[in-house]
Structure 1
């Protein structure tokens, strides 16, 4: 999402400034082009040279330090950015932005920016809670600026409070989200999307379970892409290892019966229902309440009685009203043939087919995928090998723009 995007980082004089070099580094690793503007107060915490070396770009620190007679540096910078990120945003810069004050390089440049502006406050909790600061933030939100809530935690002053800079990964995620909303047509705006992700765990006893290799990455990619296209997303997830996308409501589950209950409840008000979770076909008939001890029988065998799990996707499709039902078919052989049979058997609107197995570089636990979308109309949309997020974006755009014969 951020490849070749112009991100301007505006650093002001807060102690959290020391974290910003790593933020710039993460954005650059995502492919963004980064330039930096620093207030004089910010240079008391980190040096412009640090940011210059990391970004390979000159750093603006003085409104009168004009080196190029062909342009005015703060206006040129304002024209260059695709997004301005004010981080850490002190109470001082927030007040200046809210009231149109331009008395140094950061405030002067920001006043000339007419692209999306993300403000990331970080300050002492008393300063943040001050009515003047809150009023200024409300004013900026009214102007159309985006505000990230600071976190609650241990502050530089030595006590707990709200005012900590959000985790850098969360800031990067917010930048990607906002950039996507301004880059992609909002094809899913005002649509409610319910997506399942991850693997089911069917308990044998309190320490053992039956599961599969699904990491949840594809489900989380589909959820991320849906939010980028404007959807209101509910993610029914079994994994705790992945970060949920911004503006996503997460409902946890462990086994197939919990997943079924959550999906049936959420699907009632949904526009799109997507089953990406890998559901175990069977569960243990009688899971033990205590750990099963090793038995030294002559046979050296343990027999588990398994019973079939419900077909969640088929059940959802049977109950649907206005919803578009989408399933995944992870196959190790005869991909299209098996996926087409699944589409017809489950009576869904779409099946997304992808090859899995040890000899394939796509599918479970990988970062890439190569899928073919099959519609109930009989259409096929093969996609090339891409990252799972790119795959998800392409898939949603096809689904959202392809009319179905109802």
Structure 2
């Protein structure tokens, strides 16, 4: 049995490689999962159904003549006949018909002013990263992925930045001309023992008395947080990808029972159900909104009985602050239903990952004002993608109505 969950805009077009590949697979059974079967043209519906049951809707020419209104390729005609044919291969599940109810999500941004030392370190490392991203020729040690990760580590904590810079120094391929500056920055980062974000987190723990899942992308940040929180008298569970299976289960059980806090790296956002808690802190923010959505989805899911509170920590003037502003102001991300973010990003028509788009805009900007302007333009594209997504949803309702609900 073949299960296909394509990016709809690719699978719905016969000229694309994925449509041709899928149509040529020798298969006895096929299950096609799609959220928006029609985006721009009813012919997309014909193409998807033809993958499932070739010939059911006759030929493309015949389908167009029988079922697509002249002058409007999104408006069907002979709807009852079309529905009868589609009922042989289509089941349509909607949240309203399957009875799923989710509790509300409330998000709060905690914008924290960096200390003077933190700001100076941030500016110095960011200048290094930006210069290297702009360079026409990049060294193997400072490739694009490493540079973006270093910038994300810098937005997480000085400890994470120090760990990454020290790892760079261990690479013999690092050119001597860059080694000295990185050595100096690594030293400054390792001596940075103050964190405005940690200070704000400790105050938050007085304001929010319940269990709290704290997410970070970096092990060094996780260990720094563990030390500071234990020092402050908190019972803390730690979850990361380096734990054994039993270790991971033990961490979850520790959090379920006695620990008030659990600090998770990204591995904690995959496949773990933590709905016995209802508070989440993004101590740092991935530049990809889907990763943020995955984190929230560990708590905001079926079985959650309480409203979920999300606290987003960002240092003012950082890339993460700009990303969060964009996601809140343009996308209203934290008010969307789970799964909608993915569909909206799909409407951007970008081959690059979202974090790569952000990195390109940041590296290309000459100063903070230009970066803000570039992010505003990206935000407007996101808003247009969101509008297009809801138009597609409206079109689906118009086309399919209450038909195709599963029996029973």
Q: TM-score range by the shorter chain?
A: under 0.3
More helix by share: 2
Q: Which has the higher contact order (CA 8 A, sep 6+)?
A: 2
For normalisation by structure 2, the TM-score amounts to 0.27
For normalisation by structure 1, the TM-score amounts to 0.27
